[in-house]
A and B are shown apart, each in its own frame.
Chain A
């Protein structure tokens, strides 16, 4: 559905995007993840045809953004950063204008607008002036505007920024529901968001694509270890030594009194073995828990390490 090949964007002395390639299949949600200034917005602007690329090409639904801009743009619904809207317009007439601009046939405009109002849960506010709406509603108007011509591809730049937790959950739910009919690319710097909604994630750092995978795989593959937290009462050095002897353990670290972090090879669950060791030595086992490597750790790991981690 979306094909990006060797995309490079250079400003006079700054490389905003450096040789990025990826593909997104139909009906999936791709997340762009990266710290501020990583090139997420630039990438999205090039994808939507707002900015020209220095090198490389972008194909949306088979149309090259540069040589077939009108067809490519027809296939995209775009929510730019900070949700720009005509704040003096009413929700409904704004959506009608957007539908007309995106070539929805005159007779179908009413229907198309009704549909997105329903889909984006705007049924209570179609007559309201956009300026008077809350941030959450504005965000939904922004998404509705991107959806109104029923494009196969949706590109959402930070769709949940500035919303309260309740609204974030609602917007995420909405995006998930869109997956069945649309291919979605969204950008975020909020990590849990990626694991909550995305099928695949691309991590950008300083304009480079540093990782691409499903969120769960990313954690495992990149860290290469599993972690277990143990809390046990007993002589600290002895416990540490005993834990280190268990087969599969690659490292033990103490953290405060009675707390230990055990690192092991991935895919071997050592919890039973650890419990046994501690009980057999007559120490008191207080807590035993495997902790998944969080996306935060992966993220930090990736963006602080410059080398490529792609296979």
Chain B
């Protein structure tokens, strides 16, 4: 436990003593803020049109028009940025030779994997906390569905943790950061779009392809549904990737 904590602290320090955390936060929040602004502005415009023509206001729905697309958009930014956050996690250590010091210290490779995964996850959670500003603004001027927002956040957390797990796995394969980023991006995007292949086949194959798609599971969280099968999916995705990471580290 102490070793995990030591690795966790060191990693977190690395994020904040280098420009990594700040760049990630600024870019993510800038893009996220832009999406939030344009979605809200569009919603606002429609509301004004509806009042002008005395159209029935109940067709307008903040959850459908702002919350849902916002979290899908944030998810896409995440898909693009997470490989860049995670690419250095092991590749950098290998390149600099520090890996040799870590692996000859009296810690198990599991402790290393856990410490590094948790610190990246913690950094990501900090980022999510800042994005709470968006729903907060919605609550100030309207009444969105709290359940859907809470579900979306749980979904974001799980999907982000999955990206991190896949990214650390890719990083443990190589000492080249670009190779790590390209590998994890390719892997994640494949898991996003693999559900499309489900349209061309039938029966169980279609179900299976849909089931392994990262984004299919995210969809229900944004609807405010927390189903155990989605939790199981994300936890197994994370667990399997961390397992592979550990294996690759021991392989050398």
Contact = CB atoms under 8 A, between A and B. Distances in A.
B104 to A, nearest CB: 4
9 smallest beta-carbon distances between A and B, as pairs: A84-B97, A100-B6, A74-B106, A73-B106, A48-B104, A80-B100, A84-B98, A101-B105, A70-B106
B17 A73 contact: no
Interface string B94-134: 00111011111111100000000000000000000000000
Contact of A45 (B5, B14, B100): B100
A85 interface: yes
A112 to B, nearest CB: 14
Contacts of A8: none
Interface string B77-100: 000000000000000000011101
A69 B107 CA distance: 9
A84 B175 CA distance: 14
A89 B13 contact: yes
Nearest to B250: A52
Interface in A63-110: 69-71, 73-74, 76, 78, 80-82, 84-89, 93, 97-98, 100-103
Contacts of A279: none
Contacts of B102: 101
A82 B13 CA distance: 24
B193 interface: no
A73 B105 contact: yes
Contact of B100 (A50, A74, A98): A50
Contacts of B51: none
Contacts of A73: 104-106
Contact of B101 (A71, A80, A89): A80
B180 to A, nearest CB: 19
A83 B100 CA distance: 10
B3 to A, nearest CB: 6
B14 A50 contact: no
Contacts of B3: 100-101, 103
